[in-house]
Amino acid sequence: MPSWYEKRVRSYEQMRFDQEPKRRTLPFAWGVEHIGGDPADANPRAFFDRYIADAIAHSDDWYSIAPANDYALADGVLTFTSAIVSPWAANNRVHAQFFPAQKKGPAVVVLAQWNARWEEQQNVCLWLNKLGLTAVKMSLPYHDRRSIPGHPRADHLVGPNIGLTMQAGHQAVLDVRRTLRWLEQEGYGPLGILGTSIGSAIGFITMCHEPAVAAAAFLHASTYFGDVVATGLTTKTVWEPVAAAGVSHDDLRHLWSPISPFPYVTRLTEAKKKLLLITARYDPTFWPEYTEALLAKLRAERVPFEAMSLPCGHYSLGVKPFSYIAGHRFGKFLQRSLKK
């Protein structure tokens, strides 16, 4: 039986979910055209099977990236062209808020949660500045200045269009890597990542493929993108049309496996990177069983990491006192780990 405390946390989580504005349910689509397929393909599952096998087997190539040739910094905002061409021009221009602590030295790319507003986590960046760390808060695909007409929420970063979501997850990792290239060009290093919720998944994949990332701290952690969408509170309106189309939980785990952390854990065994995972014991979006499965995989693959589990939920990790506890832990961790 859940304790009174757990019930209170879960009640708070449900209240926060119910309060979010402009949430809507979009129709299911295979969306193979967004990843190089033919929309008239009579067997989209077979196309995805081939695409997924190739993407994971050759993930170094799939996630490879050259620096952008049009970096521009103006009024504290870095912009550049994304390597992925989505159907919307606004989404194809990356925006990142720049918070310099000094002209050189360690720097962290900050990746906020799904549907984070432009101003969210600015205080996190200022906290990192106080610790001597430069911060770059990169807007995820379809967020804030990258949002597209008719979609104030980032419906296409996590949505029931399978191929479009795959493209967006792929795009996010490449955008982070281009941000890291700019920091290197400016003389910053060592480099780290701080990710929250979906930002942690994107950051984890980046860390697995990016030699320049020396340390990373992630708030909320799970196995597969599809596990979160199929079981999470905050993704109910995404899962409903997917399930109605006959796509099972296992199917979705497979379909979005290239944009999931779990397939790439083995890449960290000999990587000698610093890793911190801060998780929530009563998280109704990144359910604890999936968090524990990821931690067990890290241990099985002999990947060194630090972990902290707090007695809160997904939303409530962002409120006092949990936000202060987590902030102190990840701040000091990144400061220590990125010290030259």
Question: What integer is the mean pLDDT of 160-169?
Answer: 98
Cα–Cα distance for residue pair 214/193, rounded to 1 Å: 9
198: closest CA among 180, 237, 167, 224?
A: 224
Average pLDDT over residues 19-45: 94
Res. 21: pLDDT tops 80: no
Q: For the segment 221-280, what is each residue's pLDDT rounded down to a tens digit?
A: 999 999 999 999 999 999 999 999 999 999 999 999 999 999 999 999 999 999 999 999
Q: In this structure, are residues 269 and 299 in contact, taking their beta carbons and an 8 Å threshold?
A: no
CA distance 240 to 243: 5
Task: For the full predicted model, state whether its pTM sits above 0.85.
Answer: yes
User: What structural domains does the chain harbor?
Assistant: 33-62+77-337 (3.40.50.1820)
**What integer pLDDT is reported at residue 78 of this predicted model?**
98
Q: Please give the structure tokens belonging to residue 86.
A: 């989505």
The pLDDT assigned to 22 comes to 75
3-class secondary structure, 37: coil
- The CA–CA distances, whole Å, from 141 to 85, 147, 168, 188 equal 11, 8, 6, 24
Q: How far apart are CA 76 and CA 241, in angstroms?
A: 40
Helix H or strand E segment including 207: helix 198-209
pLDDT, tens digit (0-9, with 9 covering 90-100), for 70-116: 999 999 999 999 999 999 999 999 999 999 999 999 999 999 999 99
Burial 181-209 (b: 16+ CB within 10 A, else e): bbbeebebbbbbbbbbbbbbbbbbbbbbb
